[in-house]
Chain A
């Protein structure tokens, strides 16, 4: 019995532990951000921002610092593996928070390297994916006041739900799940780096349009807001609209919540896509006195937002329809109801988008959220 028990335990040791081995936590470098670029020789250049803990004589405990690795290879796999040639400890990607892809690499096509990130089990799906137009090494070397690690800073930025900008919080896993669906169009946040009053500032200022793993264009954050409304994404935003009675002044309404219903029908010639966003807004500020008791003024505000929503959404759709790009990935929705209609690549010519917003305006005293 004892021998059987020992055999069972030994079998478990070899079979159950899979690829996991005993590792010392202080003998690992933890990647917090991974950057991918392509150089002039068409080689992949990889940048890794890693967390390092070191302790010197007299210190009570180790100090946290970041180090940047840069390696070049014909493939992403080769470049990543080369990092271990110059690092004291193995770089561990399990806690990587951000994948930064240079705009140059994105425009050339991410399909060349993204498979490795998907296949290697160390790269988890929960990391966020970003496009950056610039030198990734410079970006990773920036020490923000908020966090010494750019990867962690970007991760926290995505977690900040009260952001007013209509950013698209796309994780790597979500991107991989959607990239081959419908018209294969996805939107990814673009990171910017500017010199602030004292230190350099990192943030999101636009969105990259990715079609079939290639970056084909860019959206402003206002366009991103329209995109979010149509795609029924959770976001917080605002609409500045002209003051109803004082010319040159404006009032601002904040979007608290949106819920968009979709209806598709085909009349034999045109595919009608009707989007009905239910938008809950709150009156946030005015640059001049306003009488919110006045029903006409309230109706004006609602009408103005409705006009804005309709105009932004249809403009966005038309702009990319003219380029032959199904920016809103309507193909995916139409395919479910009329699979035969999207068989042709030019199906978009027959699609007509109609946006019918339903706006609910809350007074500023209706406190529903303390964010």
Chain B
């Protein structure tokens, strides 16, 4: 009895216009080739599957012989059931059902359109590789494999989504990555029970250990970043259909590093890192400090600034805290609008936004110049650490409210709460603030300043490092 039935496949894949059924009559009987023309390369099937069968000079006696001696396609396998056959058809393979043999075979014949490995728009660099991931899993994995020729590099395949059967790959270097980390990620991914998985966020959320807006799982669209993180002993998760690759664990200090820090000289890198730290502190603390000083502690501010501030705020109808929250919200509106708008309308939004935030809000008496400046500096500074800019906005509001209620004591409380919160977070079981405050000896080599590449090129996870 045939293990795979063409009729059953027809039944299950009915109303699928792109599924093609091609019957070939040969001496031994009939061969039915089934494939999806939107996923397969038809020319490839004609040349390397159909032609060899038609031109064979041997008699086919079993399925294995077809795969080994007749079909010239590189990837061939055997099918045991209808469901397996359907999976392969929907995955872009061609399947061959022989009415004179019990087993069917499949051969890989991918032929769908794929985007080139362009520079990712969200992760640009000045000096370094321009390659970025695309939506095809194989391309992405190959981009990483080309960079690491270590035989211990592992790519574990997984299937997630009960119905979408999306292909995910867990990558790590055996020996570098801690085993418990690999196990944790593997188990968490296997625990995903959703029927359909389209975005890598589904895996990311499963791997999150805390409810937080801070990114405790890293993501990148750059193969060089994935390769360097794998080399450090971290793990990466690829998902078919997305150019975003997850890396874990991901630490807070990594928000202050960019690829260019490792492609340019260490002094330039140090300046960039210091700027990012400064910008982060400014973006978190500036609005709160502004409220605390200008609504409570006038005496701590130079009198000239106080007088300018009073003149600037004359006629503004809202309390300072409301005015600041209003302007921060305006900015978020502008940011959200800028992301969602189609590109041709983008400049229009910029003009309107600049007018609203820059001039009209001040002229209409809605806000003061200094508040606009504070909000602008806060917002621009938050973009130096883009992965946590939204977290920064939330904490801006929290610290701002504390400052509005208690002045400087409130500001300090808000700041302590903020530090406590990020100190309590973990990334796949590792302290999120690592290596800050988690090491017996403070390793600053790659925190504030970047040392020589030779000094920092070592595995980050020594067992005694993380407690």
Contact = CB atoms under 8 A, between A and B. Distances in A.
B151 interface: no
Interface in A26-74: 26, 28, 30, 32, 51, 53-56, 59-64
A12 interface: yes
A97 to B, nearest CB: 7
A61 B361 CA distance: 12
Contacts of A92: 298
Interface string B310-340: 1111111001110000000000000000000
Contacts of A97: 303
A62 B306 contact: no
A51 B305 CA distance: 13
A56 B309 CA distance: 16
B295 A23 contact: yes
Interface stretch (A13-21, A107-115, A130-138): A13-21
Interface string B7-41: 00000000000000000000000000000000000
A321 interface: no
A53 B409 contact: no
A26 B316 contact: yes
Contacts of B409: 12, 16-17
A179 interface: no
Contacts of A22: 295-296, 319, 321, 404, 407
A32 B310 CA distance: 14
B439 to A, nearest CB: 29
Contact of B413 (A9, A20, A32): A9
Contacts of A21: 296
Nearest to A59: B315
A185 to B, nearest CB: 31
A56 B311 CA distance: 11
Interface residues of A, number: 32
Contacts of A152: 303
Contacts of A20: 296-297, 407
Given A25-B320, A61-B362, A61-B369, A55 B314 contact: yes
A55 B315 contact: yes
Contacts of A25: 294-295, 298, 306, 309-310, 313, 320
Contacts of A64: 307, 311
Interface string B404-415: 111101100100
A9 B399 CA distance: 13
A22 B407 CA distance: 8
A147 B295 CA distance: 26
Contact of B362 (A51, A54, A60, A63): A60
3 nearest CB pairs, A to B: A62-B314, A55-B315, A16-B409
Given A23-B298, A55-B311, A62-B311, 4 more contacts: A17-B406, A26-B314, A26-B315, A30-B306
30 contacts: A12-B410, A13-B406, A17-B407, A20-B296, A20-B407, A23-B295, A23-B296, A25-B294, A25-B295, A26-B313, A26-B315, A26-B316, A28-B298, A28-B310, A30-B298, A30-B306, A30-B310, A53-B313, A53-B314, A54-B315, A55-B311, A55-B314, A55-B365, A59-B315, A61-B314, A61-B362, A61-B369, A94-B299, A95-B306, A124-B299
Interface of A: 9, 12-13, 16-17, 20-26, 28, 30, 32, 51, 53-56, 59-64, 92, 94-95, 97, 124, 152
